[in-house]
Amino acid sequence: MDGAVRMSSKPGSERETDASVRRHALQRSKADIPPIDLEVLRDLEVLAQDVALKVDQMMRSLSGTIQNMTALSVGYIQTYRDSVDSLGESVDMSIKGMYTLMARCEELDRSMQPIHALAKQIREIKRTLEMFETLCK
């Protein structure tokens, strides 16, 4: 039964029909295109140049703005860096000052040791004087 079913048209004729339909459509669409108006093209060119000029101006303005922002950012970063450096120096100086103060306090404490012994002697003398005063009264 496979051999009994045959196509009614030739295998190549379908392709030829499609090609002729396409050719006819192309010819018809070319005929449908109106002639190009040169004034419209000139106007379009002027508008395109105007847009290009405005885009160029916008890009220059944007570039200037970005350069200004970059300069400001660099300034802020330098200020921040200088502040951090200054703060670091201040903290270092403060720590050195604190250690110096602690060392001087320890020196003062060591130099005060004889005063503690002297204060003890004064208290002892005072107690002895009070005893003599109570005996004399």
pLDDT, residue 54, reads 97
Q: CA 104, CA 24: separation in Å to the nearest integer? A: 110
Instruction: Annotate 78-115 with b (16+ C-beta within 10 A) or e (fewer).
Output: eeeeeeeeeeeeeeeeeeeeeeeeeeeeeeeeeeeeee
Encode the chain (137 residues) as per-residue pLDDT tens digits.
444 444 444 555 555 667 776 666 666 665 577 778 889 889 999 999 999 999 999 999 999 999 999 999 999 999 999 999 999 999 999 999 999 999 999 999 898 888 888 999 999 999 999 998 888 87
Q: CA 83, CA 133: separation in Å to the nearest integer? A: 69
